[in-house]
A and B are shown apart, each in its own frame.
Chain A
Amino acid sequence: MDNSIPMELLKFLSPEGTLFLLASLILLIGPFFREKVSWPLVSLIGFLVSYLLLLMQAGTASPGDNPYASVVLGGTLSNLIRHFSLGAGIFLLFLFWDRDRFQPETVGLLMILAGGSSMVGMANDLTVLYLGLELVTIPSYILLYCHGDSNSAESTMKYFFLSILSSAFLLLGIAFLYGLTGTTNIAAISDALLLADPAKLFGADALAAHRLLLIPILGILAGLGFKISMVPFHFYAPDVYQGAGYRMSAVLATMPKIAGFAGLIRIFAFALDHGGPAPTDFARDNIPVLFWILAFISITLGNLLALLQRNIRRIMAYSSIAHTGYILAAFAVASKAAPDSAFTGLSAAMFYLIVYFFSTFGIFAILHYLEQGRKPIRDWDDLAGTSKDNPVLAVALAIFLFSLTGIPLTGGFLAKFAIVYCCANVPFTLDDPVSWESHYLFILLALVIVLNAAVAAWYYLKLISGIFLKPVIWLEDKSYSFKPVLIPILASLLITVVLGIYPSLLLKPKAYQELIEKRPIAQGAGIHGPFQLADGKQ
Chain B
Amino acid sequence: MSPIDLKAYLVLGAILFGLGLVGFLTRRNMIIMFLSAELMLQGVAVDFLAFGRFRGNWQGQSFVLFILTVAACEAAIAMGLVYTLYRLKNSLDSGKWSDLREEGLDSPDDLEGAWAPAEKPDYPVLPLAGIKPQSGEETSHV
Task: Spell out A's residues near B (CB within 8 Å).
Answer: 101, 126-127, 130-131, 134, 138, 141-142, 145-146, 151-158, 160-161, 164-165, 167-168, 171-172, 174-176, 178-179, 182-184, 203, 238-240, 242-243, 308-311, 529-530, 532, 534
Contact = CB atoms under 8 A, between A and B. Distances in A.
Contacts of B63: 126-127, 130, 174-175, 178, 184
A131 B141 contact: no
Interface string B58-95: 11101100110010011001100100110010000010
Contacts of B24: 161, 165
Given A157-B81, A157-B94, A172-B44, A182 B37 contact: no
Given A151-B100, A157-B97, A146 B51 contact: no
A310 B103 contact: yes
Chain B contact-residue range equals: 35 or more
Contacts, number: 129
B14 to A, nearest CB: 9
A160 B99 CA distance: 17
Contacts of B47: 172, 175-176, 179
A186 B33 CA distance: 33
A179 B102 CA distance: 41
Given A153-B84, A308-B102, 19 more contacts: A127-B62, A134-B70, A138-B77, A154-B98, A155-B100, A160-B77, A160-B78, A161-B94, A164-B34, A164-B74, A167-B70, A171-B44, A172-B47, A175-B44, A175-B51, A182-B55, A238-B102, A310-B103, A532-B55
Nearest to B76: A138
Contact of B100 (A131, A138, A239): A239
Contact of A529 (B44, B50, B59): B59
B50 to A, nearest CB: 8
A35 to B, nearest CB: 12
A160 B81 contact: yes
Given A127-B63, A146-B141, A160-B81, A178 B100 contact: no
B3 interface: yes
Contacts of A126: 63
Q: Which 9 A-B pairs have the closest CB atoms?
A: A179-B51, A168-B40, A182-B55, A239-B100, A175-B47, A171-B44, A154-B97, A529-B57, A164-B37
B57 A157 contact: no
A161 B29 CA distance: 12
Contacts of B136: none
Contacts of A239: 100-101
Nearest to A204: B3
B131 interface: no
Contacts of A101: 139, 141
Contact of A168 (B44, B73, B141): B44
